[in-house]
Structure 1
Amino acid sequence: MEEEETPEEQLTKKHRKEKKDLQAKIQSMKNGVPKNDKKRRKQLTEEIAKLEADLNEKHEEEIRQLTSTSDTKVEEVVNGVETMKVEGGEQEEAKQPRVTKAQKRREKKAAQEKERESRIAEAEVQNLQGVRHQEALKLAQKLAQQKLQIKEISSDGHCMYRAVEDQLAQRSKPGLSMSVKELRSSTAEHMRNNPDDFLPFLTNPNTGDLFTPDEFEKYCSDVEHTAAWGGQLELRALTQVLHLPVEVIQADSPAIKIGEEYGGETITLVYMRHAYGLGEHYNSVEPLNDPNGVEDV
C-alpha cells in the first residue's frame, strides 16, 4: 500500500509545480518581446521580478500557515497517540485514534480551498478557450481567402522549425526537404557567419546591453542544440539559407513578409498568440479541404 504523503510533502510538491509553471510563463513572456525593444525588455524584467516576489510571498505565507497548524496538532498529539483532557486537568491516552475538532476544521478548510482553486482553474480554461477560439476563427477566415487551412504542429519548442520542415516537405521540388535538426544547424551557422546582420538586434534581457561575442555564440549554440523558441531573427536567417520568402499570418495584425527579395514558392506559417496556455506557437498550413467554406474551428 502506497504511503500517504504528509502535508509538508504535499506543500513542497505544490510549490515546486508552481515555480516550474512560473518559469514556463516567464520564458513565454520573454519570447513574446522583441530582443531589440529595450524599453519593453526593461518593463518585462520588472514584471518578472514582481511575479517571482509575489509567488515567494505566497509560498512563505503557506509555509507559515502549515507551521501554525502543525504547532496546534502537537498540542493534541503525544508520541503519535491523541489524548483528551479529563476532569482535574490530567490527560489520558485514548485507546482508539479519533478525529479532533481541529482536524475537522482543517479538512473542511482544505476542501473549500480545493473547490475554490478548481473553480478558478475552470474559469481560466474557459476564458483561454474563448480567446483561442476567436483567434482560430479569424485565422481560418484569412487563410480561406488563400484556399488554405491550419495544419497543426506539435508544441515542443521546435514548432517554428517543424512548421518550416512541413512546408518544405509539401513541395514537389526534390532536394528541398530538411529536418528540424538540419534547419536549426543551418540557421545557427548562418548567424555565426553573418554576425553584423543579427548581433545588433540581440540584447541582454537583464542589462539591456548588446550581446557580447560570447553571449552571441551562446545564443547561436542554443539555436542549434536546444529547443530554444524561434522568432523573426531565425526566420530571417532561414530565408537567407533557403533563398525562399516567408510569410507569417496573424489573426489581429497584417501578415509579416520576410525575404521578399527571393523568388520561389512562399513558405507560409501561422503565428498564434493563444494556441496554448503557455503562450505563442507556430503552425503550418495546407490546402483547404472545402474551398467554398471556412473550416469550423
Structure 2
Amino acid sequence: MDQQEDLEALQSRHRKEQRDLQARVTQKKKSATKKTRKGVNDECAALEVELKERQTRELAALNGENTEINPNEVDVHEAHYDEAQDTSGENADGIQSSMESLSISSPPSKPIDPPTSNGIRKTLNRAKARLARRAAELDALARKAAEEAASLPNLREQERARMREHFTKYRLQEKEIRADGHCLYAAVADQMDQAGLGLKPRITPTIITEKKLEGSNDTEQDLPGYKAVRHAAADFIERNPDDFEPFLEEPLPFYVHRIRETGEWGGHMELAALAKTYGVKIHVLHGDGRVDKIEPGEDAGAGGDEEKVIWLGYYRHGFGLGEHYNSLRKAP
C-alpha cells in the first residue's frame, strides 16, 4: 500500500471514529438527567478532545514518516514569484502558494520585470536552501517520533491484560473474531447463536446478492451470519432515517449500501440499530473497564420479561486494522 492509500485509509477511519463518537455523545446527552447533565457534558467534551488529539498525532506520524522533498523539482518561475511575495522564508511550500495567488482573470496592475540570470540563480539557491532546511527538520521530527514510539509501553499487551481482568469480573470468556472489517457483525451473530436467543429483526432484511440478481430466491438463511446481521442493520437505518441521517457525511442510500455489500467497519451507530431491530441490550466492554450499554428502546418488541443481553469486547490497540470487536460469551 502506497502513501496515498495509507492516508486515505487513515482519513476514512478518522471520519468513522468521529461519526461514532458523535452518535455516542448524542445518546449520552439524551439519557442524562438534570443531576447528571454536567458530568455527562464534561465526559463528552473529554472524549472529543481525546479523539481529536489522537487523530492529530496519527496524522502527524504518517506525514513525518513519509514526507520526501526534492529541491531539484523547484520551477524557475515559481522560485521568482516566491521571492517577490514571500521573502520571510518561513514555509517551504511558499513557492507553490505564490503561484496559486496569481489570477489569470485579474492580472497584476504592474507588469513583473523578467528576472535576470543572476536573479534566477540567487532565487533558486535561496529556495533550495530553504527546502533543504525544511527536509532536515522533517527528518529530525521523524527520528524523534520513532525514538518516542520505541520508549512507549506496549499498548496492545496492556489492553489485553486489562481485558482479561474484566473477563474474570464479569464471568466472561472471549471468542476471537477474524479482523476483516466484518468483526462487529460477526461478533453479534456469534452472540445470538451461542446465547440461543433466536432473535429475529423487526424489519425483514432486504436480501440483495449476486444470485438473487440472476433470478434465484435467496433467503436470509442462505447468508453467512455476519451478512444477515449487516442486512438487518442496513434495513433498520434505511427505514428510520430521522434517527441516523444527522450523523452521516454522505447520502443515506450510499451509506446503507456500504453496510450491506462491503467490508465497511461497523461502529456505535450500527450497534444502536442492531439493539433496536433485534430488541436486545448490547454491552460493549472496553479495556479501561468501561461498559457501554446500548438499549433496545421501549418499542423494541423484544417480548418476554427476561432481559436479553449480548456482550462484545472492544479493542483499540490489539489488532492490526485498528478498532476491533470480539464476542464475549458467558463463562461456564
TM normalised by structure 1 equals 0.58
Tell me the distance in 2 between the aligned counterparts of 1:224 and 1:61: 44
Query: Contact 1:25/1:279 (CA < 8 Å) preserved in 2?
Result: no
Q: 181, 197, 200: which is aligned to 2:243? A: 197
Q: 250, 275, 279: which is aligned to 2:318? A: 275
Which residue in the other structure is 1:185 paired with? 231
1:114-169 alpha-carbon deviations (Å, 9 max, x no partner) = xx99xx59x958957x1011111111111211211222111111110011011111
Which residue in the other structure is 1:29 paired with? 14
> Which runs of structure 1 show a deviation greater than 4 angstroms over 4 or more consecutive aligned residues?
39-44, 46-53, 123-128, 173-178, 260-263
Cα deviation, residue 242, structure 1: 0.9
Which residue in the other structure is 1:61 paired with? 70
Distance 1:57 1:18, change over 3 A: closer
Cα deviation, residue 43, structure 1: 6.0
Q: Is residue 2:282 matched to residue 1:258?
A: no
Distance 1:63 1:179, change over 3 A: farther
Distance 1:288 1:30, change over 3 A: same
Tell me the distance in 2 between the aligned counterparts of 1:126 and 1:49: 17
Which residue in the other structure is 1:83 paired with? none
Tell me the distance in 1 between the aligned counterparts of 2:64 and 2:158: 31
Tell me the distance in 2 between the aligned counterparts of 1:161 and 1:143: 21
Query: Contact 2:3/2:66 (CA < 8 Å) preserved in 1?
Result: no
Cα deviation, residue 280, structure 1: 1.1
Q: 225, 233, 244: which is aligned to 2:261? A: 225
Distance 1:126 1:158, change over 3 A: farther
Tell me the distance in 1 between the aligned counterparts of 2:225 and 2:264: 16
Cα deviation, residue 265, structure 1: 2.7
Tell me the distance in 1 between the aligned counterparts of 2:169 and 2:58: 43
Structure 1, 190-199 or 174-183: larger mean CA deviation: 174-183
Tell me the distance in 1 between the aligned counterparts of 2:241 and 2:10: 30
Distance 1:132 1:56, change over 3 A: closer
Tell me the distance in 2 between the aligned counterparts of 1:145 and 1:194: 37
Amino acid at match of 1:131: L
Tell me the distance in 1 between the aligned counterparts of 2:19 and 2:256: 17
Query: Contact 1:151/1:285 (CA < 8 Å) preserved in 2?
Result: yes
Q: 266, 283, 286: which is aligned to 2:329? A: 286
Tell me the distance in 2 between the aligned counterparts of 1:162 and 1:27: 21
Tell me the distance in 2 between the aligned counterparts of 1:227 and 1:156: 7
Distance 1:188 1:270, change over 3 A: same
Which residue in the other structure is 2:188 paired with? 164
Distance 1:60 1:239, change over 3 A: same
Query: Contact 2:311/2:329 (CA < 8 Å) preserved in 1?
Result: no
Q: Is the partner of 1:162 in helix, strand or coil?
A: helix
Task: Give the RMSD, CA atoms, in angstroms.
Answer: 4.0
Cα deviation, residue 275, structure 1: 1.4
Distance 1:136 1:63, change over 3 A: farther
Cα deviation, residue 61, structure 1: 3.4
Query: Contact 2:192/2:198 (CA < 8 Å) preserved in 1?
Result: no
Amino acid at match of 1:132: R
Which gives a bigger RCO, structure 1 or 2 (Cα 8 Å, sep 6+)? 1
Distance 1:155 1:63, change over 3 A: farther
1:230-251 alpha-carbon deviations (Å, 9 max, x no partner) = 1111111111111111000112
1:192-251 alpha-carbon deviations (Å, 9 max, x no partner) = 11111111222x3xxxxxx5xxx1111111111111111111111111111111000112
Count of equivalent residues? 210
Distance 1:62 1:281, change over 3 A: farther
Query: Contact 1:25/1:278 (CA < 8 Å) preserved in 2?
Result: no
Which residue in the other structure is 2:162 paired with? 138
Q: Is the partner of 2:308 in helix, strand or coil?
A: coil
